[in-house]
Amino acid sequence: MVAVFNKDLLSWYLITLKLRETVDQNLPKSGSSSPSHTIPAPLSQNATHPLTIAESHENPNPASNSNQDAKQTLVEIEPVTNIIHGPISQTTSTEPHDSWITSIQQRLHEARETETKNPWAKLSIYHIPETLREGDEKSFVPQMVSIGPFHHGKEKLREMEQHKWRAMHRMLHRTGHEIDRYINAIRPLEERVRSCYEGHIPMQSHELILCLVLDGTFVLELFRGATSRNGFTELGYSHHDPVFATRCAMHSIQRDMIMLENQIPLFVLDRLFAIQLDQKEHAGLVARLAICFFDPLMPTDEPLKRRDRERIESSIHKSINSMFDPLSEAGSHCLDVFRRSLLRNGPKPMPPRVWLRRLSRNRPVADKRRQQFIHCVSELQDAGITCRRKITDKFWDISFESRGVLRIPRILIHDGTKSLFLNMIAFEQCHPDMANNMITSYVIFMDNLINTEKDVR
């Protein structure tokens, strides 16, 4: 098969064949074995069949010519319309280049729109970076209950889903509301909710809204049971409830709910709780309930005082202005709220321009090389420094007195302490609007102080 792609060459080729056909017709026929050439009828402009040249070899035996088909050699030429005009779907040589430039311009346009929208300004719930995980999945991944979209639907967490629906049923029965009321209240918040989570949420609109309502109701039931005088029985749950009346299960739930990847925006909880109480939405009310619920995770031996608990409980049915207010401002989610409560009345955050200026000061290289890490307790004691316990409910309030006394508050360690601190560190490192990194600084300081068992004593 021969395809001719040059228009001029095709024209000369057709002319040559026509001339040869004319010459052959004028020559007398002879009995020689020279081949005769035939040209089919000219192709129309819309012809799609290929041009063929048939070369027949005459058989010396004429009798056999009627019994045998002449052998033919076919030479196929690209249809004229395809050669001259090109196939309809065929692109010119410049089109791929133009398409490539167009795709680049489109990507730049999308990047410009992203910069204009600045979606990162609203982020508050992040995926834990791989550099912080270091194979310690249990400290960052919930083991019992999923809250929010990041771990929604995981196989090992599905057992708790039935208890979420029980909590929903109990709340609706207690308030006399229909679930549509909560669905319709959260629906307008969908876009705002999605902007709080890092990355794309692979959930359709109705799936995400149902997840927020179901998980949010479950969280609020836990908060209310923790602040009620009679516990969860006041909300209608049995003394034998496998979730709401079991301390072991409750501790695991608290540990899961404080994880960074297992959060719901606080404004969603505020909206749901306001509907439950048939009141106007009060920012900060759920935050105070969260502090009471997570109180067992406090790393200090000065837990939330009873009078504070009573004031939180009474504030649910009273004016918002009479409430106990341990926070200077509302947080983004439960982990943020709990971290703020731990650092209440702490040192004022340094403006970014100040600490950037301090970090950029020129210091001799030799001075930097002579800088040492904080020595461990054993080495400090060998150097004549004495460590004393400081009586305070602020575990981070460490001070050094001029007489060589290092005063450190006591910290309580339980099986959820590691996960708590790691998630607070991750939040400090991921959140761009973090005013300070006090938890990170505290952990680094204590890590340098403690190297052996002797340092803990």
CA distances from 32 to 19, 58, 243 (A): 22, 9, 106
The residue type of 304 is L
| Residue 182 in tokens | 């909560």
Is the pTM higher than 0.75? The answer reads no
Res 211 pLDDT > 70: yes
pLDDT above 90 for 23: no
Most confident residue range from 33-42, 81-90, 186-195 = 186-195
Task: Look at the alpha carbons of 334, 339, 342, 343 in this order and tell me if their dihedral is positive or negative.
Answer: negative
Amino acid identity of 168?
M
d(CA 377, CA 408): 11
265 has pLDDT over 90: yes
Q: What is the pLDDT of residue 264?
A: 97
pLDDT tens, 314-345? Answer: 554 443 444 444 454 557 999 999 999 998 76
Alpha carbon 55 to its chain centroid, in Å, reads 70
DSSP string, 267-279: HHHHHHHHHHHTS
- Rounded to whole angstroms, the Cα distance separating 54 from 70 reads 10
pLDDT tens digits along 342-396: 987 655 544 444 433 443 444 444 444 444 457 888 888 888 888 888 888 888 8
**pLDDT of res. 384:** 86
Question: Does position 305 have pLDDT exceeding 80, yes or no?
Answer: no
Give the pLDDT mean for 137-163.
96
pLDDT band at 140 (very low <50, low <70, confident <90, very high): very high
Under the banding of pLDDT at 50, 70 and 90, the label for residue 455 is confident
> Hey, is 245 helix, strand or coil?
coil
Q: What percent of the chain has pLDDT over 90?
A: 37
What is the mean pLDDT of the segment spanning 144-173?
96
Average of per-residue pLDDT across 279-296? 87
Of residues 320 and 199, more confidence is placed in 199
Q: What is the pLDDT of residues 49-104, one digit of tens each?
A: 444 444 444 444 544 444 444 444 444 444 544 444 455 455 555 667 788 888 88
What percentage of the chain reaches a pLDDT higher than 70? 65
What is the rounded radius of gyration, in angstroms, for the C-alpha atoms of the chain? 40
User: In degrees, to the nearest 5, what angle opens at C-alpha 236 toward C-alphas 230 and 241?
Assistant: 90
Angle formed at CA 173 by CA 168 and CA 179, multiple of 5 degrees: 50
Q: Give the pLDDT confidence score for residue 212 in this predicted structure.
A: 98
**pLDDT per position as a tens digit, 423-453:** 999 999 999 877 788 999 999 998 888 888 7
